[in-house]
Amino acid sequence: MASDTTNGVKQNSTVEIKGLYKIFGRRPKHFMDAVKEGMSKQELQEKHGHVLGLKDINLSMPAGSIQVVMGLSGSGKSTLIRHINRLIDPTVGEVLVGGQDVCKMGQGALRNFRRHETAMVFQKFALLPHRTVINNVVYGLEVQGVPRDKQETEARRWIDRVGLSGFEDNYPNQLSGGMQQRVGLARALANDAPLLLMDEAFSALDPLIRMDMQSVLLDLQTELHKTIVFITHDVDEALRLGDRIAILRDGEVIQEGTGQDIVMEPADEYIQNFVKDVNRARVIQTESVMKAGVHSGATVEVSDSANLQDAARIMSDAQQQVVNVTNGDGQVVGHLDLETTVAAIVKQERRHTTPGSEFSA
């Protein structure tokens, strides 16, 4: 698979998952028709001793974006991510990366795909304890057969980028958990793979370190534009990182969309319970509530992707009651006033907390 790059985005890293099913057991295909006809996960396990891992997963993950997959324990999220690099084979379905079905790759093509086109960051760090930081980071490049001098150059560059310069000769047991995860991230980035798979990568970290690692990832993504599939059970983490979010339950996608879609229009009570405590001012974007036209009296601008909390803060700091809203090209596409901003926040809070609302908690 060639790695063409356009505008910083490696174009072969689009991920398409189509009709994906996974049944664990001795005769998984024997029960496919029953599952498709509606047999529940509980019935399949209790009556037939098989476990339904994934059911009819259909997801499109654009190149250069962060796709978050979240759900409770046992929802199938880790099973799903392991299908993308085929650590798990599906019962039925397709996993297309750059238009090529990973599920149909021969051993040679699959080995090449894993070495050059994808990298993985694990929850438990998965560092080699007998190797120093730099020798952990070069590991993937060693497997690729990259010359040693280039291995070290790349490794030192990424060690510096994740904030670990000076720790190259330390061993994993000499580092904190957050530092170990930085090593894992540097190792994945050193491979220069267009597709990065992160399975609960920050879940084992303390809250402050976890926030710090999220910031590191977002800063790097602004420059690198990788396709990232990020698994988490934490809604705040999902909303902060995800360009799009898919929520799983019992192996099925219950809802998929932007963070704003999910917070403002939860598909059912299950989703509502996930987002009921979310600060909606940090999720709702200005473009969803702005008014048309340029406001001649506005001297301050905000992005159409800025959240309402940031917009309100900008207006307050500038002592302005109204701001113009710009798109990604810097063109003014509307305006937003402080009264509308506050009203939108209050409306959403009331909608999701008042008894009798559609999905009141």
Contact yes or no for 250/244 (Cβ under 8 A): no
Q: How many Å apart are CA 182 and CA 42, to the nearest integer?
A: 39
- Average per-residue pLDDT in the chain? 88
Task: Tell me how far apart the alpha carbons of residues 265 and 295 are, in angstroms, rounded to a whole number.
Answer: 30
Whether 209 and 177 have beta carbons less than 8 Å apart is answered as yes
* Confidence tier at 352 by pLDDT (50, 70, 90): low
Residues 6+ apart with CB under 8 A from 99: 12, 14
* 213 token code pair: 């690692």
Rg (alpha carbons) of the chain, rounded to whole number: 23
Q: What is the pLDDT of residues 242-254, one digit of tens each?
A: 999 999 999 999 9
Instruction: Estimate the crossing angle of helix 308-318 against helix 338-353, to 10 degrees.
Output: 150
The per-residue pLDDT for range 39-68, each reduced to its tens digit, is 999 999 999 999 999 999 999 999 999 999
Write out pLDDT tens, residues 177-231. 889 989 999 999 998 899 999 999 888 888 888 898 899 999 999 889 999 999 9
Burial class (CB in 10 A: 0-12, 13-18, 19+), 210: buried
pTM: 0.84
- All domains of the chain, ordered by start, with CATH? 5-13+60-117+193-275 (3.40.50.300), 281-353 (3.90.1280.20)
What is the rounded CA–CA span in Å between residue 23 and residue 277?
A: 34
